[in-house]
Every structure is written in structure tokens, then in C-alpha cells.
Amino acid sequence: MNGVASIRAAVAACCVLLGAPWAAWGGSIVTSLHNLSVSGPGAIKATTESQICIFCHTPHNARSDVPYLWNRQDPGDPYTPYLSSTLRSSVGQPTGASRLCLSCHDGTIALGAVLSQGTVLPFTATLAGRSSNLGTNLADDHPVSFVYGTAASMPGSQLQSAAALPAAIRLDSAGEMQCTACHDPHNDQYGKFLVISNLSGALCVGCHQKTNWGASSHAVSTKSWNGIAPDPWPRSSYTTVAENACGSCHRPHGAGGPQRLLNYSVEETNCLVCHDGNVAAKNILTDLNKPYRHPVSSYTGIHDPAENYAGGVTKHVECVDCHNPHQANSVLYPAPLVPGRLQGVPAVTAANTYLVAATYEYEVCFKCHGSLLNNVMPTTAIPRVTTITDNRIKFNPANPSFHPVMGPLNKISDNMLIPPLVKGSVIYCTDCHGSDSSGIRGSHGSIYPHILVRNFVTSELPATTYNAADYDLCFGCHNVTTLFGTYTKFKQHKTHVSTHPLKDRCVYCHDPHGNPYNLGMINFDLRVVSQNGSKPIQYLPPVVNKNSCVLVCHGEIHGL
């Protein structure tokens, strides 16, 4: 029997003695980094010791308080366990097999300090500075030593039941999740001593049953990295989004963000390493750097998936306030149904109640642009006769006028609209609020105020010459020929916007989202409109001449 064969036979005999599974030779401990003997393949190994099993096991005089003929002392130090607002279990100090693993991997005991030897076996190096050195602060590591079945039975856990776990994922005799549920210390055939391959997140989803994950873009996308720094998957040999799956955002050991084990502590970085055009086709980062944007970089560590809407939340906006990375997909639905990219996002209904997952796109917007969370609701940008900051009220289909976001608008002529829009059409909030140039659906950023997709001048100073580009947002849907035509219903548009010496803006008369009191979304801009004497500012339809309104606009008196 040659030397290698002798080692194989000895290791096999040891595994049988210890009751450990003997895997196919290709993944055996002999050729893995757990072979810490002088024959080991890694940079960290003993300088003279040739025995392989000795660093964990001894057939004689082993510890009597733990199984496996254990040859290492107890680490003894207190640990800081993982803690998260979404954790459905109580995690205390490591127990069982996890504690045995930590006798090497917390870095407090020398690798060569085994009980069967009188002196510490010398090594070429230590674990210091390596990812395998977990330390005693386990807050950034996957939780261990908790009763898995109890956690899985908790409401909203999204964990597979203990009885339905894949055969390779084994709990200990107490039903606790230990390091050995994911790692087999004797078998490295899948890398990192994993019990099964984690290709496409197979190991992760063996336990974690995230709602609609299988149909999400992060589970099925074949997009790969274009090679431009930074590398979105620096610790992975997988090359596509689908192959990396959970690993695209999460790291089970040494995570950058302890809660939920994110790769990076800054929340949006976890998204933007791919959504900067280097993996995903659309460059969201470009939009987020535009002058008008949802300022995700201004808030760090405030958003929490378990935040209490009933009790109020601190003002913030993060990518995950609008996107659920476990459910987001590219499926398109007719407005106002929530599009795939916003699937599974908590929301606020038209009735001002909290909803676990949005049904309509506008419900996602109402989280901040409604009134349920008063401390995050923005103030109105333009002072008006009727001050309304709750967009649920402005868009209410029961109003005399509204943009058809929550429901169809049937009080408009087809010739007022540009196809494919017709009377009865419904639109998304993001039809107006979104990228000005990238073609990205969603209000990430724009060069135009209010994150608008087109130019919409709101200056209180009227123009002296007519420029159609000033009204580009409106003319993207509304037929300018009809607006400026001879129709009696619309003839005042041309007078105010085009032919009058002072070229008024659409915004002087119209509140773009809607109005619960007037037709035509009339809600006058108080920057340019004032009272006509003691008379209240009024709109008296139909619009025939200047007497249809009671007010003073740019010094010109309207009304009798």
C-alpha cells in the first residue's frame, strides 16, 4: 500500500470509528483545507504533524462531555449572537457541534492546541485576518444553536418545515440548527464544506422559502458581469445572477450588514453593484445621481422590514421601500395593477390602511405620498387655494377631476389625448415620474424637478415667448392641436399659454394630480393669483372668458 493509499485507509477507518459519513474520495478531508497535517493542501497547516484526524479527534483520553472523541478544549468565551428584527427565534450562546467548530474558527485557541499532545503543535500560519476566522462576535454570521422547528412554525417565518428539509440538511438531536446543517467538515466536494451545492441558492432555499422567489428576476436572470469594476460577486465562482441567487446580496459569514446578513452595510450598495449597468441592463446609479431623485444615499440604517406603520416611522427612502428583491420581476401588468418590479412591497391603500403587499402601483407611492405616515409626507411644492398634501384625496375617482391613476377618467374627449390613450385609460404614477432619458420605469431620478420624465416648467414668472418645450410633460399625453384649437371648451388654453403677452404656465391653473372641488383640476397657484377685492378666489365653469374666474392674476382682474 503506497503512502496516499495508507492515508486514505487511515482516514476512512477514523471516520467509521467516529460514526462520521465517508463521502466519495473526490470530496474527502485529505484533499481539503481541513487536512491540517503537514500533507495538507492549504497555506495553514502543521509544520511536522502527519496525522490528519488528530486536530479534532483522538481515540484515547478524549473529552467526556461531548461526542465525537473530541480532541480540543472548549473555547469558553462568551459570544455575541446574531440578532435581527425579522428573526423568528431566540439565539443564545453556541451549543453542540457549533461550539466544537468554534474551537478553531473563533480564533481564540491555537489550531495546534489539541488535548492529546503535551505541547501546541506548530503551524505555518494562523487564521488571523482570514474569512474563516469568525471571532467571538457572531452578529454578522448566520444564526446557529436555535430550535429550527420552533422558528419555522412562527407566523411569517418563510422557513421550510423541519420535516420537509432536504436530507442533506440535518438538525442535531435536539432539533437545533448548527453549523453542520450547512457544512460537512469531512467532505469538501461542493466547496466551503457545504452539504450540497449552493448553485442557484439551492442550499439557502432548502430552508428559506421566500414568497414568489422562484419567479423573481434574481432567481432566473441569466445576466452576467461585464467585467467593469467593482466585481459584484468577489467571493463566488458563479457567473450569472441566477447562479449566484441569494449570494448576490447575502453573505452567511462576515456579512457587511449584520441584520439580514447583507454583503454591504450601506443598503443601496447591495443593489447598485449590479444595477449600475455592469450586470443589469439599466443603470439605476446614473438616475440616482441626477439632481432630482429619491435620495436613497441620504439614509442608512433607518429602514427596517419590520418597521411599525401603525406607530409611525422615521423619514427615509431606500431601494427596498419600493422593491422587494425576493419577488421583483419583469412582468408587466395593465395600470393600475402593481408591476412586477414592485411585487411584494408593503403599501398603503386608498382607504389609508397598511397592506402587506401592494395590489396597485399607487399604493406603493402612498406610503410616503399619502397621509398614513404623516412624519414622512412631503409638503406641497406650490401654494394653492386648496392645500392638499395627501395624494389619495387628489386622485380619488369620486372627485370632479383627477388624473386617472386610481381609476379611469371618462369625462374627457378622445381627441384631447394622444394614442394609445383614450377616454377611460388608466395611467401609472411612473408615467409622469421617472427617468428623463434612460427608459427606466420608476422614479429613481431625473434632470427635471419632481422626478418628471419630461420638462414641466413651474416658475412663478410667466414667459414672454411661447415655447412648447416648457409644456413637454403635458403634451406627452394631451393633444396640443385640440388644446389650442377652436373648440369652445378649450379655447382659453391658447389664450393663456400662447397668444397672451404673458405666457401663463399650466401649473398656474391646474393641480396636476387632481382636485376634489373643481372640474379641470383647477386649483389656482397662489404665487401668481390673488383675490379680486374681498371676493374669494373662485372658478366658475364653463370657461368662456375672463369672467369664468374670480381672481387677480399677474395684476389682471378676472371676474365681475
In sequence order, what are the residues at sequence separation of 6 or more whose Cβ sits closer than 8 angstroms to the Cβ of residue 559?
532, 535, 538, 540, 546, 547, 549, 550, 551
Per-residue pLDDT averaged across 122-144, rounded? 97
Nearest to 521 by CA among 361, 374, 412, 370: 412
Q: What is the DSSP string of 415-438?
A: GGB-TT--TT----GGGTBS-SSS
Q: Select the more confidently predicted residue: 84 or 490.
A: 84
Hey, what amino acid is at 251? Answer: R
Q: Which residues fall within 8 angstroms of residue 437, CB to CB, at 6 or more apart?
A: 447
pLDDT at 4 over 50: no
Mean of pLDDT values over 59-67: 94
Q: What is the pLDDT of residues 364-392, one digit of tens each?
A: 999 989 887 655 555 678 999 999 889 99
Query: What is the rounded average pLDDT for all residues in the chain?
Result: 91
User: pLDDT tens across 182-202, in order?
Assistant: 999 999 999 999 999 999 999
Q: What are phi and psi of 551, to 5 degrees?
A: 180, 175
Q: How many CA atoms lie within 13 A of 169 on its CB side?
A: 21
pLDDT at 469 over 90: yes
Higher pLDDT, 5 or 59: 59
* pLDDT given for residue 489 in this prediction: 66
pLDDT > 50? residue 6:
no
Predicted local confidence at residue 272, as pLDDT? 97
Among 426, 31, 277, smallest CA distance to 39 is for: 31
Show the cell assigned to 544: 368662456
Higher pLDDT, 560 or 106: 106
Per DSSP, what are the bridge partners of residue 530? Answer: 552
- The per-residue pLDDT for range 15-45, each reduced to its tens digit, is 444 444 444 444 689 999 999 999 999 999 9
Specify whether the CB–CB gap between 335 and 329 falls below 8 A.
Answer: no
User: What is the C-alpha to C-alpha distance for residues 132 and 33, in angstroms, rounded to an integer?
Assistant: 11
- Please give the single-letter amino acid code of residue 173: S
**In whole angstroms, what is the distance from residue 412 CA to residue 482 CA?**
12
The string of pLDDT tens digits covering residues 490-533 is 778 888 888 888 888 999 999 999 999 999 899 999 999 999 99
- Whole-prediction pTM value? 0.90
Query: Strand pairing of 146-147 and 176-177?
Result: antiparallel
Binned at pLDDT 50, 70 and 90, residue 484 comes out as confident
AA letter at 212: N
DSSP label at 28? B
pLDDT at 409: 84
Q: What is the DSSP letter of 11?
A: H
Name the residue among 519, 516, 518 with its Cα closest to residue 406: 516
Q: pLDDT exceeding 70 applies to what percent of the chain?
A: 93
Q: What is the pLDDT of residue 8?
A: 47
Instruction: Supply the pLDDT for residue 422.
Output: 93
Q: Using 50, 70 and 90 to split pLDDT, how confident is the model at 222?
A: very high
Domain boundaries, the chain: 1-155+170-193, 213-281, 319-527
Count of other CB atoms within 10 angstroms of residue 17: 12
Query: Average pLDDT of 52-60?
Result: 97
